[in-house]
A = this chain, B = another copy of it.
């Protein structure tokens, strides 16, 4: 963002940009998930989709997670990887439905999760087809196209998949509507939420079950109550998962 700020004088007074440029993380995140998405989208506009993909790949090749000291692609949950493989081995088609940027996940989702680009759904900015130096490209525009979170998740699922999921798995309030939509189908359905309650091996946040609050990706007591009432399975990372990451083994 700092590198791009001179091209965006309006960021000096516009939130969440102004706060972040001053190093005020708390102020920047006060707008919640939507503010974060605006930041991510705005800072990645102007380049082609192919250029953006290369930046993601270059970053993943070198960056390490500050807590786990591993490449980010290694910091995926081992039980999630095993579940995806198990579902596919039993004839299911698996999709990722994330609040994160669709173009950020696609370059690595197939290698890490076995989910090809066309089965990744996420938030996106607008793109525009144009000829650049005689080559047909898609240019990323500084305008949000779709936010794949909360009530947006069923919309994104219908737009991309065109059928109701048989099973859905989440870990925050942003997944509530996706699980409701899944449960609303006929026949057997399965809904599951993962609770991050393991401060030692990963993180602990809720504020469900008396865990610390979280500005992003909160799992609220209301969601926990709804899960119990509606028969959704809640998994405790601390108590139910032998391993969290593959590199632990």
- Show the binding face of A for B, using Cβ within 8 Å: 49, 93, 95, 102-103, 106, 117-120, 124, 127-131, 135-138, 145, 151-152, 154-155, 158-163, 177, 180-181, 183-184
Given A95-B118, A127-B155, A138-B155, 19 new contacts (CB under 8 A): A49-B158, A102-B162, A106-B162, A117-B162, A117-B163, A118-B118, A118-B119, A118-B160, A118-B161, A118-B162, A127-B158, A128-B155, A129-B152, A129-B177, A135-B184, A136-B154, A136-B177, A136-B180, A138-B154
Among B136, B145, B152, B154, contact of A184 (Cβ-Cβ < 8 Å): B136
Contact of A159 among B124, B130, B152 (CB under 8 A): B124
How many Å lie between the Cα of A29 and that of B227 in the bound state? 51
Bound complex: CA of A135 vs CA of B158, how far in Å?
16
Copies of this protein chain in the complex: 2
Tell me the complex Cα distance, A138–B152, Å: 10
Which residue of B120, B137, B162 is within 8 Å of A162 (Cβ)?
B120
The residue of chain B having its C-beta at the shortest distance from the C-beta of A161 within the complex is B118
Nearest-CB residue, chain B, relative to A106: B162
Q: How far apart are the CA atoms of A163 and B131 in the complex, in Å?
A: 18
Alpha-carbon distance A118/B163, docked complex (angstroms): 8
Report how far A44 CA is from B158 CA in the complex, Å: 16
**A158 and B136 contact, Cβ closer than 8 Å, known pairs A93-B118, A151-B129:** no
Q: For the complex, what is the distance from the CA of A113 to the CA of B177, rounded to whole Å?
A: 32
Residues in B with CB closer than 8 Å to A119 are 118
Residues of B within 8 A of A159 (CB): 102, 124, 127, 145
Q: How many angstroms between the C-alpha atoms of A151 and B161 in the bound complex?
A: 23
- Give the contacting residue for A181; candidates B103, B129, B161; CB below 8 A: B129
Residues of B with C-beta under 8 A to A103: 162
* 8 A-B pairs with the lowest CB-CB distances in the bound complex, closest first: A117-B162, A136-B184, A129-B151, A129-B154, A118-B161, A136-B180, A106-B162, A136-B181
Q: How far is the CA of A95 from the CA of B137 in the complex (A)?
A: 20
Sample of 24 A–B contacts (CB below 8 Å):
A102-B159, A102-B162, A106-B162, A117-B162, A117-B163, A118-B118, A118-B119, A118-B161, A118-B163, A124-B159, A127-B158, A127-B159, A128-B151, A128-B155, A129-B151, A129-B154, A131-B180, A135-B184, A136-B183, A137-B184, A138-B155, A138-B181, A145-B159, A160-B160
